[in-house]
Amino acid sequence: MTAATSARTEPGEIDRLTADGVTMRFGGIVACNNVSLAVPPRSIVGLIGPNGAGKSTLFSVLSGLRRPTNGHVHMGGDDVTKSSPQARVRRGLGRTFQHPELFTELSVREHLVIADRVRHGTRRVWTDIVTWRGFRPGSAEEDQRVDTLMDSLDLTRVAHSPVGALPLGMMRLVELGRALAAEPSVLLLDEPSSGLDTQETADVVEVLRRVVAERGVSMLLVEHDVALVMGLCDYIYVLDFGALIAAGTPDEVRNDPAVRAAYLGTDTEELEEAIDRSSADLDEETV
């Protein structure tokens, strides 16, 4: 399957992120086998699969933390396979982690400030120590950008709280805010609902939809919550044992026999009912 061309990209537009025939081997183990996928502009793409399917490995390859054994990764049509994670961030790749990777010594606002400065004033990381900027306040433009983002994520009220003192749901929002402050064109979300209850999950879904609508960001999300993926994503890829076994719209994936057999199990009717029930609950919460 050449999935890189399967996702629905409008004519004349270039996919924000593509994986072409990515294979990742660890010794004799093939974690990803010839996987191809595409993330078109302004879309939310899901990546699902059972435990051990290779989702996290593929995420590491896409974000540049691992270099694939074979295959290529493109951003906006350019080959970034050999680019470092930093270079991919500069090209517009953002990400969150399954277990929030936050800087516990910094406040919520500082998370957004450092991400904003990395985007708008990369040199300041190096020049501030000789230009004595530490003793001067931040610029008005920076304040405005950070405050607007905090407001849109409803983080203003905890702006000066240390992230180490926040509940998990808030931490996920801070992670998202930090990623957005760097103004990415495509965002990788690693299990954004992990550890959240139904209400919190519904809140996160709503925030993600709003971000795509308002900022035009593309998203690729790995998620175990099938109901969330079915309800949120425009297009879904399914991995099993490192190989891509299906790709399509939520309805297409839901009815794909290979997915049912490999991912959902054999007792399909019962599971289908469960998914439908969960999806209905999610829709009800977010409407």
Residues making contact with other proteins (CB under 8 A):
63-65, 84-90, 94-97, 99, 101-107, 110, 113-115, 117-118, 121, 124-126, 128-129, 132-135, 153-155, 157-158, 160-162, 164-170, 173, 178-179, 182, 196-197, 199-200, 202-203, 206-207, 210, 286
Q: Least separation, in Å, of the C-beta of 89 and other proteins?
A: 3
Q: How far apart are CA 172 and CA 205, in angstroms?
A: 12
Q: Least separation, in Å, of the C-beta of 190 and other proteins?
A: 11
Which CB atom, from 210 or from 277, has the smaller least distance to other proteins? 210
Which CB atom, from 159 or from 271, has the smaller least distance to other proteins? 159
Which CB atom, from 132 or from 270, has the smaller least distance to other proteins? 132
Q: Least separation, in Å, of the C-beta of 255 and other proteins?
A: 31
Helical residues (DSSP H) of the chain, grouped into ranges: 55-63, 85-90, 108-120, 124-131, 140-152, 168-181, 198-215, 226-232, 250-254, 257-259, 268-286
| Cα–Cα nearest to 15, from 23, 24, 5, 25 | 5
Which CB atom, from 3 or from 93, has the smaller least distance to other proteins? 93
Q: Least separation, in Å, of the C-beta of 16 and other proteins?
A: 17
Which CB atom, from 133 or from 277, has the smaller least distance to other proteins? 133
Q: Least separation, in Å, of the C-beta of 131 and other proteins?
A: 8
Judge residue 178's burial from the number of C-beta atoms within 10 Å of its C-beta, 0-12 exposed, 13-18 middle, 19 or more buried: buried
Q: Which residue has the tokens 């516990």?
A: 104
Which CB atom, from 57 or from 63, has the smaller least distance to other proteins? 63
Q: How far apart are CA 34 and CA 144, in angstroms?
A: 44
**Full DSSP string of 54-109:** SHHHHHHHHHTSS--SEEEEEETTEE-TT--HHHHHHTTEEE--SS----TTSBHH
Q: Least separation, in Å, of the C-beta of 163 and other proteins?
A: 8
